[in-house]
Amino acid sequence: MSEVRCETCGAELLPGTGFCRQCGAAVSGHGEFDGSEQPTAIFPDKTAATTQRLNPRSTSPTSSERHTAKPPGFRRNVILLVFSIVLLLGVVAALGVLSDRNLSSDPAGEALIYPGAMTKVKMSHDKGDRTVQLETSDSLERVESWYQSKMTVDKTIRLTSNSVVMKNQKVSVTLAFENNKTNILIKEMP
């Protein structure tokens, strides 16, 4: 195969090309031209865009910037978190106030609170039932006799020597003596 050269610049032509890769001149009658190449346009100097040098800049944060850089939306997320916590605390406080009102508004419920006992838990439920857990350092016998005198007991069940359950139609009182303290659990039904 003979080597074909450009008529304009003398550069070697590649087979199947319609233009010189060196000077861009059209090649006529060279090989089988498929028409996919377009002539190379040489722009005059006045219209050519010049390359501009840009000032270099760091593409990664410095070590001090890495520690202080905050992700996008960080401030908004912190504000939402604080707002959510305040809202949650407000709901919990409101529920606590409502629960205390429900328990203390019923004089019969307060009548079953053992004198001097420390309140551990007070809960009111939607259906009107309430639960109170108390703790006292008085003996099981003394606490049991106090409840026997304060409520009409329909049934007494002694579970062990250190625990007893007293019931009537609306209230059940469970007493358990442990670690020199008597735990009292009062459950009131509506």
How do residues 117-171 score in pLDDT, each as one tens digit?
998 888 887 777 889 999 999 999 999 999 988 888 899 989 888 999 999 988 9
Domain of 165, in residue numbers: 104-188
Q: Quick check: is 86 in a domain?
A: no
Q: Quick check: is 126 in a domain?
A: yes
Q: Quick check: is 64 in a domain?
A: no
* pLDDT reading at 54 higher than 90: no
Q: What is the pLDDT of residue 21?
A: 84
Spatial separation of the C-alpha atoms in residues 2 and 4, rounded to whole Å? 6
Q: Quick check: is 78 in a domain?
A: no
Q: Quick check: is 20 in a domain?
A: yes
pTM, rounded to two decimals: 0.44
* pLDDT reading at 39 higher than 80: no
Q: What is the pLDDT of residue 64?
A: 60
Q: How many domains does the chain have?
A: 2
Q: Quick check: is 125 in a domain?
A: yes
Spatial separation of the C-alpha atoms in residues 73 and 60, rounded to whole Å? 20
Q: Quick check: is 139 in a domain?
A: yes
Largest CA distance in the chain: 127
Answer with the one of 47, 64, 80 that is the final residue of a domain: 47
Q: What is the pLDDT of residue 50?
A: 64
